Structure 1
Amino acid sequence: LVPPCPCPSLTAYWSAPPTWPRLVFCDIPGRLLHLLPCCSHLNRLSNAAILLTLGTVLLAYFVVMDIFLISRYRYTSLAEDAGTASAVGEIYSPFTHLSVKAVLSDHPRHYIFTPSTELFNSLTRFTERLPFVSADAVSLTHLFCAFVAGKFVASENLNDRRIGVVIFFFRTWLDSFDGIVFR
């Protein structure tokens, strides 16, 4: 038996995370996999095999991209103008116009999140069509996503924690998009 809290106004009580993300991320995809005959073998694969394959592919991608980055800067003249470093018509390259901060950032941010935000902005022209959306508004949005992700990660349910990780990855994507909107 738990004694009552002596000061309930200063105590944060646990409330369950919202139920709609569980429906979107867990229930609907599971039902769709059972309906599609081409995806029925995915139910038999273990989570460990899927994660091992995904981790191996990501590791190989990061190693190859690092080799390209090193070979690019091995033969680049540091005295050349920064405006001539990119090809004409190039949307984005993780190998041009690098700052020290960009080189020292983690691999997913450098090779996945930032290029995907640049691609999203070039395809949708988000910053041109919605000029009133500032970088601060995007920052507030990813701050809110971080609080929601924290709520899910703190849950005892494994699926809720997984949803929290997905929401936090979206928050990291928004953090990269914040820099694109600012520029």
Structure 2
Amino acid sequence: MDGGVLSRYGLVSPPVIFCLVLGASFVVADLYFYGVLGKLPCQASNCSSTVPRPSVKLMMQDHMCHHVHHYAAEAFESYTHLSELPFITPNFITTMHIFVGAFGAYLVSSENFKIRQIAVGVCQFRIFLDMLDGVVFRRQLKHSMYVNGWGTLGYYIDAGADILASFLLVYGLFIYLVRQPPRRSEGLPLRTSPPEPITDMPVSRSTIQLTLILCLIQGCLRGLFWDRYQFAFHSIFNKVLHHKADAMLQARIFNSPLTRFVLWCWKLSSAEGMLGFVYASIFLDFVWPMLIVLRKYGFIQLGVVVIISQLHAWQIGELLGKAA
């Protein structure tokens, strides 16, 4: 490791430019998405709880899954009618993305930077398949709402597959970092002076293990809390309220800036959101500093978002409970 693409080439290298353009496109896509939300009929004076609203899950989905994989999977299904094939089931696709994830993790462990960049593409294809199994599940059940199938066998299989894929990725990173141990100076803030001899020593194997284990635990916690609050907000905003005044209050809360902000925070705070930063760091050969940042500050950031989400869920639950 020698500091990553950014330190070697600055902002003019193709990988850095690609990531900057992708990030900017996500900002534009978010602005467009929330601009469209502001024009939905659920803000009208005749609003009722039966008026379709955007999926809470989609509003909490990380940027790559929301703006790329979700629409790509929907388009692929519409073009191929994959769900109509008798041998295609959501669990079959889930099994496929486990093997793709294992192959991606194997490539991540490579000492060749170009192969690790290819690994990021393979891992993104795994996520596309993960989105596709949900599309097929909804099409086969004639279900249009983009929401988790809580309690179903497929829900647990899909969750288990995601955890397994994350474990394999962490294992691939462990092999790579043991083969090419990062220097201690790589986990320090940016500096202009040469590193001190003690900070330029290789990171120990135990430190690598501890960092990766903490990141894996953090990823699992992010997945659990994301699913918890997705279920909580979905239950609140999809509850049928028969009185017009109550339904209008429900719609106003749903479209309030605070609710949108809380849901948007989970785009960055979900397990997939965290993985997005890890994939970017692999693509830019900057993975160890990113893991150090996640280890030091990730739990704090997650805790803040959880507290804000819980307080907001309590508040709107009490308001709508009184209204009902």
Instruction: Give the shorter-chain TM-score range.
Output: 0.5 to 0.7
Q: CA deviation at 1:170?
A: 0.7
Distance 2:29 2:112 in 1: 36
Distance 2:108 2:76 in 1: 28
Is the counterpart of residue 162 in structure 1 residue 117 in structure 2?
yes
Q: 1:98 aligns with which of 48, 54, 66?
A: 54
Q: 2:102 aligns with which of 147, 157, 165?
A: 147
Is the counterpart of residue 50 in structure 1 residue 14 in structure 2?
yes
Q: 2:51 aligns with which of 81, 94, 105?
A: 81
Q: CA deviation at 1:158?
A: 1.8
Q: 1:132 aligns with which of 75, 81, 87?
A: 87
Question: Contact 2:97 / 2:129 at 8 angstroms: preserved in 1?
Answer: yes
The one-character-per-residue Cα deviations of 1:41-68 (angstroms, maximum 9, x if unpaired) are xxxxx99532233223222321122112
Go from structure 1 to structure 2 and tell me whether the alpha carbon gap of 1:133 and 1:166 turns closer, same or farther (over 3 Å shift).
Answer: same
Partner AA of 1:177 in structure 2: L
Question: Contact 2:11 / 2:17 at 8 angstroms: preserved in 1?
Answer: no
Partner AA of 2:127 in structure 1: T
Count of residues paired in the alignment: 124
Partner AA of 2:51 in structure 1: D
Q: Which deviates the most, 70-79 or 151-160?
A: 70-79
The one-character-per-residue Cα deviations of 1:21-41 (angstroms, maximum 9, x if unpaired) are xxxxxxxxxxxxxxxxxxxxx
Structure with the larger helix share: 2
Q: CA deviation at 1:124?
A: 1.4
- Aligned counterpart, 2:127: 172
Taking every aligned residue pair, what percent have the same amino acid on both sides? 32
Q: TM-score, normalised by structure 2?
A: 0.35
Go from structure 1 to structure 2 and tell me whether the alpha carbon gap of 1:176 and 1:153 turns closer, same or farther (over 3 Å shift).
Answer: same
Distance 1:156 1:57 in 2: 27
Partner AA of 1:66 in structure 2: D
Go from structure 1 to structure 2 and tell me whether the alpha carbon gap of 1:140 and 1:47 turns closer, same or farther (over 3 Å shift).
Answer: farther
Q: CA deviation at 1:138?
A: 0.3
Structure 2: give runs of 5+ residues left out of the alignment: 1-9, 43-47, 139-324
Q: CA deviation at 1:131?
A: 2.8
Q: 1:68 aligns with which of 32, 55, 79?
A: 32
Structure 1: give runs of 5+ residues left out of the alignment: 1-45, 83-96
Q: Over aligned residue pairs, what C-alpha RMSD do you find?
A: 2.3
Q: 2:71 aligns with which of 115, 119, 124?
A: 115
Partner AA of 2:76 in structure 1: F
Question: Contact 2:41 / 2:51 at 8 angstroms: preserved in 1?
Answer: no
Go from structure 1 to structure 2 and tell me whether the alpha carbon gap of 1:119 and 1:68 turns closer, same or farther (over 3 Å shift).
Answer: same
Partner AA of 2:66 in structure 1: H
Partner AA of 2:96 in structure 1: T
Q: TM-score, normalised by structure 1?
A: 0.60
